[in-house]
A and B are shown apart, each in its own frame.
Chain A
């Protein structure tokens, strides 16, 4: 019973120590720079949130077929999806981002016709590369998770749906996919937090997210501790929020049988 055991004497002391620490940080340290940069920090927060949400949504949409073809075949597609997952999971995401931004980005100007196409204005910006790299990475990791989830749905349920004459596509939409998603939900919160922790890498390709803005603050103000602590706090709050929402979701959803 966590409710009953939450407030033990030693916990109260720990909370007190934490409160004293936070208050010391708040009053003893130099936070004068904070109001000056607040609007920039807010803008950067939105960039981080936009990158996180968009890469997760698109990445998950990609992960579904990537996971599915590894269970159903056909062979060439299975092989393709498997190598994609191995490639993404086997190399650092920082390197993937740099391959896209510096590597592919340096080849694009030499491709005939590309300069005149509608894509060009996007290709000279940094954020599309950040978005694509984060999306592909999430698709790779989540594709592997979805493969296991699709495989884990009991065969009997699919056979029953088949027996009452459901179209294969209807089976996927009404039975297979919902049951698989139900299986991954408990791990999805952790995956989202991992993705959140990958977002600051976009600062290395000149996208101004929260991490980048605090880097600038550090360079301009020469303050060592405060911006870093604030940055850590922001990510803590983000991750805490994600964990909290998923706790709620998990309690709301019926337990899987």
Chain B
């Protein structure tokens, strides 16, 4: 039975129950946030590793990191998504078939998390490198002279001291991650933007649903900006500003 969307009001169209498409939009939002959060977490891990390599790794490691950051910053995310979605599974399967394993599939979710993590990692490397450079060397040397283990120095001294400098950059990165998930719509992965597009296509109310998705994105970015502001205040307690 076809539903007559033409005569429904905006509230009915956006309602969470089936004739309305609000539920589909919210599902899309949840998927978007999951991809963004996972990608962001991977990016932070890569960033911490990358920054450490750039600061104290050998010359080869440092140059390789530069190649990585340069490439990621020059190639559009859309192209990287295509590479992860179409070329990478093919490559992996060719390698796996040589080794004698079965085929694997990379779905939209995995490709999205991979690409966003990969891109975020490059930018996070720069954020963390700058922030770690702002930690006074004397503090780290003092910890060394107490005989602290390097890992312990990292999580007791370096990380707490660099966070005030890193949070603004990390906040920006999170906003980029949240917005970059929209690009997955291009490979047909149903996140918020594609959900809105599907809803608008089915109901012919294009403007309403795309605007509603925009409102949801705006809500996410505004709320997270506030959270990061609170976080920044929290981690920079006791810091003196010149």
A10-B60, A95-B182, A102-B200 are known contacts. Are A197 and B76 too (CB-CB below 8 A)? yes
Mark the stretch among A117-125, A160-168, A231-239 that contacts chain B.
A231-239
Q: A10 vs B62: C-alpha distance in the bound complex, in angstroms?
A: 11
Q: Distance in Å from the Cβ of A228 to the closest Cβ of chain B?
A: 5
User: Do the beta carbons of B213 and A201 come within 8 Å of each other?
Assistant: no
> Could you say which residues of chain B place their CB within 8 Å of the CB of A252?
none
Is the C-beta of B90 less than 8 angstroms from some C-beta in chain A? Answer: yes
Q: Is the interface of A mostly helix, strand, loop or mixed?
A: helix
Complex CA distance for A225 and B79, rounded to whole angstroms:
12
Question: Known: A14-B60, A91-B218, A102-B197. Contact between A236 and B75, CB under 8 A?
Answer: yes
A195 to B76, CA, bound (A): 10
Residues of B near any A CB (own CB < 8 A): 59-60, 63-64, 71, 73-79, 82-83, 86-87, 90-91, 175, 179-183, 185-186, 193, 196-197, 200, 204, 206-207, 210-211, 213-214, 217-218, 221-222
Which residues 199-215 of A have a CB within 8 angstroms of B? 199-201, 204, 211
A90–B210 touching, CB < 8 Å = no
Please name all residues of chain A whose beta carbon is closer than 8 Å to the beta carbon of B63 when the two chains form the complex.
10-11, 14
Closest CB in chain B relative to A28 CB, distance in Å: 14
> How far, in angstroms, from A197 to B179 measured CA to CA in the complex?
14
Query: A-side interface residues toward B, CB under 8 Å?
Result: 8, 10-11, 14, 86-87, 89-96, 98-99, 102-107, 193, 196-201, 204, 211, 218, 224-225, 228, 231-232, 235-236, 238-240
Q: Closest Cβ of chain B: how far from A110's Cβ, in Å?
A: 11
B222 touches A90 (CB 8 A): yes
CB distance from B80 to the nearest CB of A (A): 8
**Which residues on the B side are within 8 Å of A239 (C-beta)?**
73-75
